[in-house]
Structure 1
Amino acid sequence: MVALPEGFGSSLGRGIGAIVLYAIVGLVLMLLGFYAIDWTTPGKLSALVRDGKPNAVVVTASGMLSMAFIIVVAILFSSSDLAAGLITSVVYGLVGIVAQVLAVRTLEWVTKLDVGATITDDRFAPASVVVAAVHLALGMIVAVAISDFSTLFATAS
């Protein structure tokens, strides 16, 4: 017979509950991130992706990956207390999504890329790779900013 430590079941239950709650927070933030990208990008991304527009797929996939970087780091650097951790994950995730969208749109404006024409094109356009790279790079930058701020905040308190 295997002897488990005292309180093993309740610890396991709390852990499973925390995983489920963080998964829900992550899913909601990913959905918000998708809608933020969709709302700020010319054209209806979900329809363009369903229609198989290759550039819309590239831009949407990179946008979602960049949002995932931000959300994962927001969760990773959240408080060890479950309630505080969920709150900081949501706040850092939302701030990260806003920063990501604003930064990507600014870079697209500066580079003068016609994202609307690019994502609706039926043929692969190399410019979609540039937009994807901007999404991914800025997602990583925002994620590192979250981790740096979280570390500073943790040492200050």
Structure 2
Amino acid sequence: MTIHLAAVSNIALPDGFGSSLGRGIGAIVLYAIVGLVLMLLGFYAIDWTTPGKLSALVRDGRPNAVIVTASGMLSMAFIIVVAILFSSSDLTAGLITSVVYGLVGIVAQVLAVRTLEWVTKLDVGATIEETRFAPASVVVAAVHLALGMIVAVAISDFGALISANT
């Protein structure tokens, strides 16, 4: 039995492959940093505008605080992902538009959630401080997620409009 191995003497990569790969890796790192900073800002915006010290309540294991915080972070992630997705294809412009869209989205999200909580008369402070599960926390979580998706879609529509006009 004879085995024949074909020798590959030359693997051709397109010109500039290495530099394109390096630029791509750099862009991923920069967008990851922008995303992380926006997530932190989003968390502190939720923490600052929610009655009680949300971060301390989460560390204490208060189930309703965990539910509200997790839904708030997911809603912020929707906004940030869409802000990055619809940013400019130019790296510098893309980073700037991601930051601007992300910040506007975070502000819109926080204002909308707080307004809905005020209109519905939910006592979020009392709910998140409960040591046992409170069904109202699911309502607050649903509001966070729903408004996060709405803001994200608004960013996508605006981003698509801007892209079409450039």
**TM-score normalized with structure 1 length:** 0.98
> Which structure has the bigger radius of gyration?
2
Q: How far apart, CA to CA, are the structure 1 residues paired with 2:165 and 2:31?
A: 25
Once the two structures are superposed, residues 118-157 of structure 1 have per-residue CA deviations (whole angstroms, 9 ceiling, x without a partner) of: 0000000000000000000000000000000111112223
User: Residue by residue, what CA displacement relative to the aligned partner does 1:7-51 show, whole Å, maximum 9, x if unpaired?
Assistant: 110000000000000000000000000000000001111110010
In the alignment, the residues of structure 1 paired with residue 158 and residue 124 of structure 2 have an alpha-carbon distance, to the nearest angstrom, of: 32
- Cα separation, 2, equivalents of 1:56 and 1:20: 31
Quote how far apart the aligned CAs of 1:5 are: 1.1
Q: How far off its partner does 1:86 sit? A: 0.1
For the residues of structure 2 that align with 1:16 and 1:43, how far apart are their CA atoms?
40
Task: Supply the distance in 1 between the matched residues of 2:162 and 2:151 (Cα, whole angstroms).
Answer: 16
Partner of 1:29: 38
CA distance in 1, matches of 2:77, 2:143: 15
Tell me, in whole angstroms, the C-alpha distance in 1 between the residues paired with 2:18 and 2:161: 35
Matched position secondary structure for 1:116: helix
Unpaired segments ≥5 residues, structure 1: none
Structure 2's unaligned 5+ residue stretches are: 1-10
The alignment's C-alpha RMSD in Å is 0.5
Farther off after superposition, 145-154 or 18-27:
145-154
User: Which of the pair is proportionally richer in helix?
Assistant: 1
Please report how far the alpha carbon of residue 78 of structure 1 lies from its aligned counterpart in structure 2 after TM superposition.
0.1
Distance 1:64 1:134 in 2: 12
1:63 Cα deviation from its structure 2 partner: 0.1
- Aligned sequence identity (%): 90
Structure 2 residue 89 is matched with structure 1 residue 80: yes
- In the alignment of these two chains, the number of paired residues is 156
Do residues 8 (structure 1) and 17 (structure 2) align? yes
**Secondary structure at the residue paired with 1:101?**
helix
Question: What's the CA shift for 1:4?
Answer: 1.2
Structure 1 residue matching 2:15: 3-state secondary structure:
coil
Displacement of 1:59 after TM fit? 0.1
| Inter-partner Cα distance in structure 1 for 2:39 and 2:79 | 10
Q: Which residue pairs with 1:144 in the alignment? A: 153
TM-score normalised to the size of structure 2?
0.93
